[in-house]
Amino acid sequence: MNGQGRSDPDSGDGLTLAHLSDPHLPLPAPVPWQSVLNKRALSLLSWHRKRRHHHRPEILTALVADLEAHHPDLIAVTGDLTNLGLAQEYRAARLWLDRLGDPARVTVIPGNHEALIAGAWEAGAPEWGPYWQGDGAPLGAGLPDAFPALRRRGDLALISLSSAIATAPALACGAVGAAQLARLGPMLRAARNAGLCRVLMIHHPPLDGTVSPRKALRDGAALRALLQAEGVELVLHGHSHRSHHQTLDTRDGTAPVIGVPSASSRHPEAAAYHLYHIRRMTGGWEIDVTARRLGPADEMEPALCTRLTLPRAHADCAPL
C-alpha cells in the first residue's frame, strides 16, 4: 500500500487518519519449542485452541484492501500485531507493515502481545523501528526513551505511547510508567502551543472499566489526570477487540476516546477500522468519523458516520 494519501498535509483541507488495531497476524510455523518454555506456552495453547480460528488472514486482507481504497493520508496501528512476541513474528509483521505503507505514513505502537515475556519487545522493537520512531529520532535510535514519540503531519501531532509490559501468566495488563508520563506533559503542552491537533495512540484503553482488571492499564488514573491537566483532542486505542466511544473532559475541552475492534476477527465483534478526517475550523477542530466493518457477506461495509466538533481555543493559533 505504498503511495501518497489523498491530501496535501499543508493545504488546509485537513488529513485523513485510518486507525486499525490488534491484527494478530498468523503465527509462523514451526514455533521453536525452546521459545515457549514460559508464559508463551499458555498463549500458544490458546492460539491453537481458539485464537487461530478467530484471527483470519483473509479478513485482514479484505480490511486492508478496503482501507487502501479510501486512500488515508496516515495509518495508525495500535498494537498486538503478534501473538507470542517471537522474533519470527516481528519479522513477519515487518513485512506486513511494509506492504501497508511507507513508515512516514504508518505509525505503529506495541501491544501486550509484543511484550508477552520480559525482553520480547526490547528484542523485537528494532525490526519495526522506522514505524514507531518519532520525528527527528536519530537513525537506529532505540528504547527505552523512545516513547512518547511525536510525529507531526500537517496540523496533526500524532503522539504514541507504549503500554506494553511483560506480566504474569493470564494477565494482559499494561502500564505507561512514570518516565513516559513525565515526558508526555511537556509534549502535549508544546503541541497545544504550536496550534496542533493532538491525537494520542495507546494500546490499552485509558478509561476505567473498559476492560476487566486483568487486562487494564495499571496507571490509567495517572494518565487520565495528565490528559485532563494538559489537554488532548482525540485518543485512539485497541486491546479490547470491541468498539468503544467514550469521552474524557480536559482543560481544553472534551476529548473523544475511541477504541476499534480487531482488524482480523469476527469475535467478539466484526473486524473494523476507523477513518478520521480532521480539519481545522475557526475556534476548534472538526472530525468526520467513519467506521467500516466486516459485514455478513464478508464485504466491508459502513457502520457509522458521524461528525465530532471539538471547540479548542488553540486551534485559532497559527501553527508554528
Binding status of residue 112 toward Fe ion by CB under 5 A = yes
User: Cα separation of 96 and 184, whole Å?
Assistant: 29
For the CB of residue 109, give the shortest distance to Fe ion in the complex, in Å. Answer: 11
Q: Are 103 and 158 in contact (CB under 8 A)?
A: no
Binding status of residue 160 toward Fe ion by CB under 5 A = no
Instruction: Identify which of residues 150 and 173 has a Cβ nearer to Fe ion in the complex.
Output: 173
* Separation of CA 51 from chain center: 21
User: Residue 50's beta-bridge partner residues?
Assistant: none
Instruction: Identify which of residues 192 and 239 has a Cβ nearer to Fe ion in the complex.
Output: 239
For the CB of residue 171, give the shortest distance to Fe ion in the complex, in Å. Answer: 11
Q: Tell me the residue number closest to Fe ion, measured at CB.
A: 239
Instruction: Identify which of residues 228 and 243 has a Cβ nearer to Fe ion in the complex.
Output: 243
> How is residue 138 written as a grid cell?
536519530
Instruction: Identify which of residues 80 and 89 has a Cβ nearer to Fe ion in the complex.
Output: 80
User: Between vectors from CA 187 to CA 182 and to CA 192, what angle results, nearest 5°?
Assistant: 135
Region near Fe ion per CB under 5 A, out of 47-55, 236-244, 259-267, 308-316: 236-244
For the CB of residue 168, give the shortest distance to Fe ion in the complex, in Å. Answer: 15
Give the burial string for 190-228 (b: 16+ CB within 10 Å, else e): ebbebbbbbbbbbbbbbbeebbeeebbbbbbeebbebbe
In the list 111, 220, 259, 284, the residue contacting Fe ion (rule: CB under 5 A) is 111
Region near Fe ion per CB under 5 A, out of 40-48, 110-118, 123-131, 228-236: 110-118
Contact flags string 71-100 toward Fe ion, x per CB under 5 A: ---------x--------------------
For the CB of residue 89, give the shortest distance to Fe ion in the complex, in Å. Answer: 14
The count of residues interacting with Fe ion (CB under 5 A) is 4
User: Cα separation of 27 and 40, whole Å?
Assistant: 12
Residue 109's nearest CA partner among 123, 129, 92 is 129
Residue 134's nearest CA partner among 158, 166, 99 is 158
Instruction: Identify which of residues 195 and 205 has a Cβ nearer to Fe ion in the complex.
Output: 205
In the list 39, 239, 277, 279, the residue contacting Fe ion (rule: CB under 5 A) is 239
For the CB of residue 290, give the shortest distance to Fe ion in the complex, in Å. Answer: 24
> How is residue 304 written as a grid cell?
457509522
Region near Fe ion per CB under 5 A, out of 89-97, 108-116, 183-191, 227-235: 108-116
Instruction: Identify which of residues 80 and 219 has a Cβ nearer to Fe ion in the complex.
Output: 80
For the CB of residue 116, give the shortest distance to Fe ion in the complex, in Å. Answer: 10
For the CB of residue 193, give the shortest distance to Fe ion in the complex, in Å. Answer: 33
For the CB of residue 212, give the shortest distance to Fe ion in the complex, in Å. Answer: 12
Instruction: Identify which of residues 183 and 267 has a Cβ nearer to Fe ion in the complex.
Output: 267
CB under 8 Å to 165, separation ≥6 — which residues? 112, 115, 173, 174, 175, 177
Instruction: Identify which of residues 112 and 162 has a Cβ nearer to Fe ion in the complex.
Output: 112
Instruction: Identify which of residues 1 and 171 has a Cβ nearer to Fe ion in the complex.
Output: 171
For the CB of residue 172, give the shortest distance to Fe ion in the complex, in Å. Answer: 6
Under the rule (CB under 5 A), what is the footprint of Fe ion?
80, 111-112, 239
